[in-house]
Structure 1
Amino acid sequence: MDYLETLRNDAKLAEEFDMLFDFCLLDGLEERDTAEGRCTFSLPGKAFARDGAGGEYHQLEDGSIGYMSSEGECGRIAESVDDLIHLLVYSICWHDYCDTSQYTDISTLEAYANERHDEIASYTEMDVWETVVQALGMPLEANVAAELQKFYDAAHRALLYICYFHEDDGTVTESQNLFF
C-alpha cells in the first residue's frame, strides 16, 4: 500500500495520523530547510513531512528516510517510507526510543520496547490509533522490538545522514546523532 498517497487522499485520516504521530505530510516534495543557507547535508534529499516542533522528514536519494530536528539532530531513521510508517505507528513516539544502551541485545530491546510502549499507550488515544492502523491496512499487533531494531540499523548505516551547520565565523559544526 502507498501509505503517503492514502494519507494525501484522506484529509481526516491525515489529520488523525498527525495528531497521533506528529507527522504533517506536505503536498509534495520540497527543498529541505537549510536555515537560510547555513545547512548542508551529507546526502541529497527532499522534505516530504514536518513535525510540530519544526523537524523535517527527508526522502533521501536512495529511498531511505532522514530526519532533521529543530534542535540540530540529524540522521537516517528508516530504509523506506513503509519502514517509516511502521516505526511511527508501532512505536507511536519514535523520539522516545533513542537510548543506544537499550539496543545491546534482543531481550533488553524487547523489555525497553514493551515498557515504553505501555507507557506511551497509557496517554495515547488508542481507539483513534486502531482506526488509523486499520485504515492503513496494517495489523493491530506488531513486534515493536523488530521495528526498533530496523530503526537503529538504519540510523547507524553508512553513509550516515548528517547535517553540517556553517557558522558565521566560517567553522562547520556537524549535527548530533539522533541516538544518545
Structure 2
Amino acid sequence: MDYLKILREDPDLADEFDSLFDFFLLDELSPRDDADGRCTFSLPGMAFARDGSGGEYHLLEDGSIGYNSSEGETGRLAENMDELFSLLVNCICWQDCCDAKQYLDSKTLEEYGQKQRVINLEDIDVDIWRRVANVLGISVDKELAPVLERFRKATQRQPLYQCVFHEDDGSLTESYGLMFE
C-alpha cells in the first residue's frame, strides 16, 4: 500500500497520523538535513518525514527506511514502507522499544512490546488510533513480537545506516545505533 500517497491525499488523516505518531510528512522527497554539510551518511537516501524533535525519516537507495535523530542516533528502522508503517502504528512510539535486552525471545519481546503499548495508549485517543490503523489497513490486534523482531533485524542489517558528524576541530563523531543495551 502506498501510505505516503494516502497521507498526502488526505490532510486530515495526515494530521491525525502526525499527532498520534509524531510523523510530519514532507510534501515530497527532499535532501536529508546534513547540518550544513557537516553530516555524511553511509548510504544514499532522501528525507520524506520529520518528527517534532528534528529527527528525519529517510527512504534509502535500496528501499529500506532509515532514521536520523537530533540526538545523534542513526540507523535503519525497516526494510520497506510496509514494515515502517506497521512499526509506527503498532508500537505507537517505536523509540520506546529499543532496549536490546528485551529481545531475548518471543515471549519476553511480546510482553515488552505490550507493556510499552499500554503506556503509550494512555497518552492518545484510542478510537482515533484504531480508525487511522483501519483506514491504512494495518491490524493492531496481532502479536507485537514479529513487528519488533523485524525492527531489530533492520537495525542490525549490514551495511549499517550511519551518520558521521564533522566537528569544528576536524574530528569525526559517528552516530549511535538505534538499539541500546
- What TM-score range do you get, normalising by the shorter chain? over 0.9
Greater Cα shift, 105-114 or 40-49: 105-114
Greater Cα shift, 110-119 or 24-33: 110-119
**Where does residue 73 of structure 1 map in the other structure?**
73
**Where does residue 169 of structure 2 map in the other structure?**
169
Greater Cα shift, 127-136 or 37-46: 127-136
CA distance in 1, matches of 2:158, 2:90: 25
Greater Cα shift, 147-156 or 120-129: 120-129
Task: Please say if residues 89 and 138 of structure 2, whose CA atoms lie closer than 8 Å, have aligned partners that are also in contact.
Answer: no
Residue 115 of structure 1 deviates from its aligned partner by 1.2
Specify the code of the residue in structure 2 equivalent to 1:164: V
Q: Is 1:156 aligned to 2:145, yes or no?
A: no
Aligned to 2:132, the other structure's residue is in SS state: helix
Residue 121 of structure 1 deviates from its aligned partner by 1.4
Deviations 1:95-134 (CA, angstroms, capped at 9, x unpaired): 0000010001111101111111111112221011011111
Deviations 1:135-179 (CA, angstroms, capped at 9, x unpaired): 112224122111111000000010000000011111111001111
Aligned to 1:58, the other structure's residue is in SS state: strand
**Where does residue 19 of structure 2 map in the other structure?**
19
Across the aligned residues of Structure 1 and Structure 2, the Cα RMSD in angstroms comes to: 0.8
Specify the code of the residue in structure 2 equivalent to 1:21: F
- Gaps spanning 5+ residues in structure 1: where? none
Residue 62 of structure 1 deviates from its aligned partner by 0.3
Q: Is 1:40 aligned to 2:40, yes or no?
A: yes
CA distance in 2, matches of 1:101, 1:34: 32
How many corresponding residue pairs?
180
CA distance in 1, matches of 2:134, 2:105: 31
Greater Cα shift, 137-146 or 73-82: 137-146
CA distance in 2, matches of 1:97, 1:75: 14
**Where does residue 131 of structure 2 map in the other structure?**
131
Specify the code of the residue in structure 1 equivalent to 2:44: P
Please identify runs of 4+ aligned residues in structure 1 that moved more than 6 A: none
- Gaps spanning 5+ residues in structure 2: where? none
Query: Percent same amino acid at aligned positions?
Result: 57
Within a 5 Å distance, the mapping from 1:49-128 to structure 2 comes to 49-128=49-128
Deviations 1:45-95 (CA, angstroms, capped at 9, x unpaired): 000000010000000000000000011110000000111001000000000
Aligned to 1:176, the other structure's residue is in SS state: coil
CA distance in 2, matches of 1:169, 1:125: 47
TM-score with structure 2 setting the length: 0.97
Aligned to 2:85, the other structure's residue is in SS state: helix
CA distance in 2, matches of 1:129, 1:152: 24
Greater Cα shift, 153-162 or 114-123: 114-123
